[in-house]
Structure 1
Amino acid sequence: MPDDDHGRYNGTLLGSENALGWFANWLLSPAAVLLRLLRETHRHDTRFPRKQFGRTFLFVRHHLPTVPQEQLTFMPEPSPQSSIALLIDADNAPAAKIEFIISELATYGVVNIRKAYGNWKKRGLDSWIQVLHEYAIAPTQCFDLIKGKNATDMALLIDAMDILYTKQVETFALVSSDCDFTPLVRRLREEGKQVIGFGRQNSPGPLVMACSRFIYLDEEPDDKTPPKRRRESSVSSLQQNTKLMNTLRTAVKEAADEDGWAALGPVGAHISNQSPFNHRSYGFKKLSDLFEEINLFEVKKSKQVGQASVRVRLKT
């Protein structure tokens, strides 16, 4: 059937300019019978005559059922807080730091799984026994298979893999300074999990670098030491770390604008993606404080719409 000249509708030609002839022909035509059937079966259809260039067309437009707006709008559910599994190698971790560990992990999510591994018959773990129930940590008994060889490492590893494949956990927290856990950490990160390590300053480098972030648990410096001197000592040791200095420079260059200034947020994210660096390990509460103490960088602080803005750039 012909379309109208503008191609906007599909129509059925029903007659000519002669109104009486058109009406008589239309009543007897198959099209009239069809339209009468449509009128009975499709009462919600819209019919309207249209005149174009002296000819009359009748169009039938079908209305699709209306879908409620609330069914068309997708409202995603809020994502739950990140779940954390805390696994403690009690033979290689100080019990006195458990409050600090729990407090630190609270910034990453909720510690839903808390387990500590060791041979609890050993007197060396008495300090852990005193805090297990207080911090809702489930103890796992690991008897020594032979003298001088414990089964703690293997028990922790098996539980970690079980949690990886059966629980909805985004972050693993490993409290140990044992380098034997390095392959486990790498495996967890290959699965896209964040691994936060806790250990002593003398923790092996491979274990530290394998973690997403590594936080040292050594005792706090002597309170008699002046804060300024402690900070100077931290900056001195930091500047001697050539690899870390290169990481800081690269992070600032990658996030810098045309004038060389870089927002501190992207700089910190770039550093975290490259290494498990933590500014608090060097005695600085804020990353901006660390950059201010290093002579290689300029730091500019300002307030915009009630929010503090920190930018940094390399000194020229």
Structure 2
Amino acid sequence: MANPAKPPLLAVLIDADNISAKHAEAMFEEIASLGEASIRRIYGDFAGGGPQGWTKEKLAALAIVPHQQFANTTGKNASDIALVIDAMDILHSGRFDGFVLISSDSDFTRLASRIREQGVDVFGMGMRKTPAAFVKACKRFIYVENLINEPHKPKPKPIKSDDTGDSPPPLDDPAKLVIRAMDAIEQDDEWFTLGQIGQFITAANPDFDTRSYGKRKLSDLIATLKIFETKRGDGNQILVRRLD
């Protein structure tokens, strides 16, 4: 159980084959905002110098421990299996408050779900191409593009009849997300706290991130939506109401 006086203890497990090392510093800066990365492990075949740029120098600079898995098997990736086994061992130790699974691979969907079944938080990190199933299995999913100042540009996309749901959908209309949150919050007052709204949106949409819309904070995003009004309430908290 996390002590309120200290940050949550996190186990960071990285799939070296499915994320580039060039994003490493940005990812660990983000992880620092979530808790203390006590375990930092990466899985892959490092015999050839490190996949995706994960060199020994990069690993040493960030105190990441490599777990060598030789690419001498066919079928299921040996690195994926090793990561899952270690994750379950760490989970059953009972010492950690959360996991950070860094990959763009849907193979870790069941792992994320299993960890959360034990009441332990799972934060995912990966590229925007990450399959929706893995994204939804996490408490929160952070797109690496948002950490390197590459906000997603929403584009209308026709729904295909053969869509399997493996790819992440286009960005949701932020106004609809806010309205949905207001409708779900049971209160008579027309003014809702920004914290209430943000908490509901994030719980219902693990990959919601205002940086995807080019805004640093939820208040900045809502300020661009003309159907809402904001004001300062008690304690200087931001309040929001619908105008329509």
Per the normalisation by structure 2, the TM-score is 0.82
Match of 1:203, SS state, is coil
What is the aligned-residue RMSD (CA, Å)? 2.7
2:194–2:238: 8 Å Cα contact kept in structure 1? Answer: yes
Q: Deviations over 1:184-233 (max 9, x none)?
A: 00011111111111111111011111111111113534xxxxxxxx79x5
Which amino acid letter does the alignment assign opposite residue 162 of structure 1? D
Residue 313 of structure 1 deviates from its aligned partner by 1.8
Moved more, 116-125 or 164-173: 116-125
Does residue 89 in structure 1 map to residue 89 in structure 2?
A: no
Report how many residues are paired: 226
Instruction: Show the counterpart of 2:212.
Output: 281
Does residue 261 in structure 1 map to residue 191 in structure 2?
A: yes
Aligned residues with identical type, % of pairs: 38
Equivalent residue in structure 2 for 1:251, among 165, 181, 188: 181
Which amino acid letter does the alignment assign opposite residue 205 of structure 2? S
Question: Which ranges in structure 1 are unaligned for 5 or more consecutive residues?
Answer: 1-76, 222-229
Match of 2:54, SS state, is helix
Instruction: Show the counterpart of 1:208.
Output: 135
Match of 2:7, SS state, is coil
Per the normalisation by structure 1, the TM-score is 0.64
Instruction: Show the counterpart of 1:101.
Output: 27
- Which is bigger in relative contact order (C-alpha 8 A, separation at least 6)? 2
Q: Which has the larger radius of gyration?
A: 1
Does residue 220 in structure 1 map to residue 149 in structure 2?
A: yes
Match of 1:182, SS state, is helix
> 2:43 & 2:229 partners in 1: Cα distance?
47
> 2:103 & 2:91 partners in 1: Cα distance?
19
1:13-52 to 2 correspondences below 5 Å: none
Match of 1:133, SS state, is helix
Which amino acid letter does the alignment assign opposite residue 309 of structure 1? Q
1:301-316 to 2 correspondences below 5 Å: 302=232, 304=234, 308-316=236-244
Residue 245 of structure 1 deviates from its aligned partner by 5.2
Does residue 132 in structure 1 map to residue 59 in structure 2?
A: yes
Moved more, 244-253 or 176-185: 244-253
Question: Which ranges in structure 2 are unaligned for 5 or more consecutive residues?
Answer: 158-169
> 1:82 & 1:157 partners in 2: Cα distance?
21
